[in-house]
Structure 1
């Protein structure tokens, strides 16, 4: 009987120890596997975040490429606008020059003043017509000034037009219907040095006028003003 009790007690002790060992083993296994499980979840989360970052970077690159293209388009448009602005500016300049040439607007600038006078002395028996200013003399001066770059010309204050007519009638010269006596003052707007040199060329206009007994005086002017032709025509 005592042997049976002792065997039962020993068996109980053994079972208790085995139970404790099993429980301990389970607890150790659980604690050992728990970090692995957590690491797996964390890895999956990091993977998803990394995936989102990669997608975002791809989207950013696309946006950067789009921005670069738009910047190029803006640059091209700015260059085009600059060119158009320059073209418009040139057109405005050309229009203003043309308006000045045809006499639609007044003009101010430096230039020269050429005064033609009849000869102060006529030899006895000489032909008076050979000692006075004629339209041909005026045309010589005007044509030389135009060829030399004069932008506007006037005679005795009357500005000349592209179809201005000039003719001589005795001691007076008629310009577009208006009569002017000598002396005849021709004003031209342009580079004073160029205009003066053009008239003073050897064998040129001034020498020809001197040969025709015409008294000529040339002066450089810092400022010459001419009214628009329309105003002159309205006044006339």
Structure 2
């Protein structure tokens, strides 16, 4: 190709291409696309992005509800820990021999439950192995009736146990304190309880009545005398545990004496009450 032809082609190409259009500034001061900015905005660092994302905080409704639930849970745990600490304060200050006595009492309760389990298993085996199952069932029914009569207070009972006397000269002993004593004795294995001539049964209730106390509607006055049938080695320590019945009554300036005996007679009786609505399902 000659020089003349190259000049002619270049001239033709220049005529076909449009002229360069200068970059125009937009109304907000920025150049149009394709133009090179003379003063670009400063580049944002990762730390600045993190700060901008965290502050100001943006709390949604769901986040607020979760925060309130967590606060309530934490407050409940704190109250539970505080209550457990208060309940254990008596044990923390107890002497070594008192702690040993508490452990022995727990072991005795466990043993009583195990003995009861073995007794029920023995009755089952006797019924299964007896040649005259009807006679054996009748014998066990009579024995069970006698046991239930003792628990229901419809028959007299005697056996080893303790006598606890509460002398209240200040008049500070109330019904709830006597009820605590009954519950502690039951937990320690008491099988029959009598308070000032009133038989204590499962439905027994105690109320304050002026300067005295009522047991199932019967007024009793100090000194309060408990006659309890059970294992003396279990009953007496249960009353004398740290923070227990005896210490609580002594704080109220009452005098408590507990005596063991090989023979306690509980002869106060309760009339057998027929239920108004409940009937045996076997009838």
TM range (shorter): 0.5 to 0.7
Larger radius of gyration: 1
User: Which aligned pairs between 1:87-106 and structure 2 lie closer than 5 A?
Assistant: 87-106=137-156
SS at match of 2:207: strand
Cross-structure match for 2:173: 133
Q: Following TM superposition, by how much is the alpha carbon of 1:161 offset from its aligned partner in structure 2, in angstroms?
A: 2.6
Q: How many residues align?
A: 146
The separation in 1 between residues aligned to 2:235 and 2:196, in whole angstroms, is: 18
> How far apart are the structure 2 equivalents of 1:176 and 1:182?
17
Q: Partner residue of 2:159?
A: 109
Q: Is the 8 A contact 1:117 1:133 kept in 2?
A: no
Aligned-pair CA distance for 1:80: 3.7
Q: Which residues of structure 2 form unaligned runs of 5+?
A: 1-128, 274-283
Query: Who is 2:40 aligned against?
Result: none
Counterpart check, 1:175 vs 2:215: yes
SS in 1 for 2:146: helix
Q: Partner residue of 1:81? A: 131
Please tell me whether the aligned partners of residues 161 and 229 of structure 1 are also in contact (alpha carbons under 8 angstroms): no
Q: Which residue of 1 aligns with 2:280?
A: none
Q: 1:118 to 1:231 in 2, by over 3 A?
A: same
* Structure 1 unaligned spans of 5+: 1-78, 121-130
Following TM superposition, by how much is the alpha carbon of 1:198 offset from its aligned partner in structure 2, in angstroms?
1.0
Deviation at residue 231 of structure 1 after TM alignment = 5.8
Larger helix share, 1 or 2: 1
Residues 168 and 174 of structure 1 are in contact (CA less than 8 Å); yes or no, is this contact kept in structure 2? yes
Q: Distance in 2 between matches of 1:195 and 1:188?
A: 9
Deviations 1:195-227 (A, max 9, x none): 011111222221222223222111112222222
- Normalising by structure 1, we get a TM-score of 0.55
- Do residues 209 (structure 1) and 249 (structure 2) align? yes
Look up the SS of the partner of 1:90 in the other structure.
helix
For the pair 1:226 / 2:276, whether they are aligned, the reply is no
Name the stretch that deviates more: 207-216 or 222-231: 222-231
**1:134-173 maps to which residues of 2 (within 5 A)?**
134-173=174-213
**Bigger CA drift: 85-94 or 151-160?**
85-94
Do the aligned partners of 2:159 and 2:262 also contact (CA within 8 Å) in 1?
yes
Query: Larger relative contact order (C-alpha < 8 A, sep ≥ 6)?
Result: 1
The answer to whether the 8 A contact 1:111-1:191 is kept is yes
Q: What is the CA RMSD across the aligned residues, in angstroms?
A: 2.6
State how far apart, in whole Å, the 1-side matches of 2:270 and 2:238 are.
Answer: 30
